Amino acid sequence: MTLSRAVDLTQRLLRCQSVTPNDGGALPLLADMLRDAGFTVDLVSFSGPGEAEILNLYARIGTVSPCLVFAGHTDVVPPGNPAAWRFDPFSGEIADGMIWGRGACDMKGGVAASIAAALDHLEGAGAPNGSIAFLITGDEEGPAINGTVKLLDWVMARGERFDACVLGEPTNPNALGDMMKIGRRGSLTGEIVVHGRLGHVAYPHLASNPIPPLLRILVALTDAPLDKGTSSFDASNLEVVTVDTGNPSTNVIPAEARARFNIRFNDLWTPETLRAEVQTRVDTASAGADVSLDFMPCNALAFLTGPGRFTTLVADAVEAETGLRPVLSTTGGTSDARFISAHCPVVEFGLVGRTMHAIDERVAIADIDRLTAVYGRIITSFLT
């Protein structure tokens, strides 16, 4: 069976065991391929105190505007129990018209399609009328500290700029062409601790139970909606994700009760205004209880690439190759597009994501080739 360039590269990437923070040889593989095609390529590592060193790739051909950058990641989540898979999760096995393996749709197939599209374009049209770049990280599935955000700072410090970006995350729920992402909601996580006084349940007057005030606070946080959403975004939602006292006994009033929550917020909010709203609700509901409220650092802001020339160009390319006009969506979790959006317009369009992070992750071979055609059409349209 003769494989297309994109499918062959997908298979080779799937055989790299690049579970975050390990690269497994994935980015050097891409670096060699891009250098051979005439790109200037840099493999750049970042780390911090106590943090794993993360390998990232930046490649570019051309030095002038307009510059179209393709972004993505080659790191993957752990496969779980390999024995539960139909095929070895790092084999890149091809069967039933699908290619199987951890990262097939999220997002080694998308990375392979973008690189194949660029190489096809260069072979057919020669040097680009502008520039094509790649921004590929090994830290998207991890803390996202030593990946795209630092790589962008490194690129900008060199004086380089991008005019638009396509991120190849798996955006389609059911069929290639269903959906492209033009924005994402932000994410903010916090923890509430109510401090009580330990005591015997038979002598409650000698103790102070922290659970009732915590329950009042959680009701205050969840009962009233944060907003009603916008024309581009769903309503912001606060979800309580843990409630705990650390109390193994049935006859002891606990000394404290704590809860963690996560908020997915739209562009009506900033982290600062959201923290203030939460603090107000906690203060109102705490009724004199001893309460502490802390927030984790927020590196996921809401962003939106409004409808315009670039979003239309991408949607037109998708429709031309798939026959479907993609829905412009801001749903789903966070992605590295949140970092790129500060530098240029960014949209996300990739493969079908029904099996991402799941046992037997897989993607249709035909979809990889059609995605390559979509990306090729975007390159041609953007650089013409």
- The enclosing domain of 158 has a CATH number of 3.40.630.10
Is 108 within 8 Å of 351 (Cβ atoms)? Answer: no
pLDDT tens-digit profile of 1-15?
799 999 999 999 999
| pLDDT (mean) for 127-156 | 95
- End residue of a domain, out of 232, 264, 295: 295
| pLDDT (mean) for 64-88 | 98
Same domain, 177 and 251: no
Helix and strand element counts for the chain (H, E): 9, 19
Same domain, 19 and 155: yes
- Evaluate if residue 161 carries a pLDDT over 90: yes
Please confirm, yes or no, whether 120 is among the known catalytic residues.
Answer: no
Mapping DSSP to helix (H, G, I), strand (E, B) and coil, where does residue 212 land?
helix
Same domain, 233 and 310: no
Same domain, 158 and 34: yes
In this prediction, residue 128 carries a pLDDT of: 87
Which member of 23, 120, 139, 140 is catalytic?
140
Please confirm, yes or no, whether 75 is among the known catalytic residues.
Answer: yes
Which member of 75, 106, 139, 367 is catalytic?
75
pLDDT tens-digit profile of 215-243?
999 999 999 999 999 999 999 999 999 99
How far is residue 34's CA from residue 43's CA, in Å, rounded to a whole number? 12
Same domain, 96 and 167: yes
Looking at this protein, which amino acid is placed at residue 199? G
Q: Considering its fold, how many domains does the chain have in total?
A: 2
- Evaluate if residue 292 carries a pLDDT over 90: yes
Same domain, 202 and 158: no
Same domain, 38 and 137: yes
The residue to which tokens 């982290």 are assigned: 271
Same domain, 42 and 132: yes
Same domain, 180 and 196: no
- pTM for the whole structure: 0.92
- End residue of a domain, out of 246, 267, 295: 295
User: Cα 139 to chain center, whole Å?
Assistant: 10
Same domain, 171 and 307: yes
Rounded mean pLDDT of the chain? 97
In this prediction, residue 287 carries a pLDDT of: 86
Same domain, 89 and 219: no
Structure tokens at 156: 């900008």
- The enclosing domain of 274 has a CATH number of 3.30.70.360
Same domain, 21 and 153: yes
- Evaluate if residue 59 carries a pLDDT over 90: yes
- End residue of a domain, out of 295, 327, 357: 295
- Taking the CA atoms of 87, 92, 94 and 97 in sequence, report the sign of the dihedral they define: positive
Q: In which domain, by residue range, is 323 found?
A: 5-184+302-382
Is 51 within 8 Å of 155 (Cβ atoms)? Answer: no
| pLDDT (mean) for 272-281 | 98
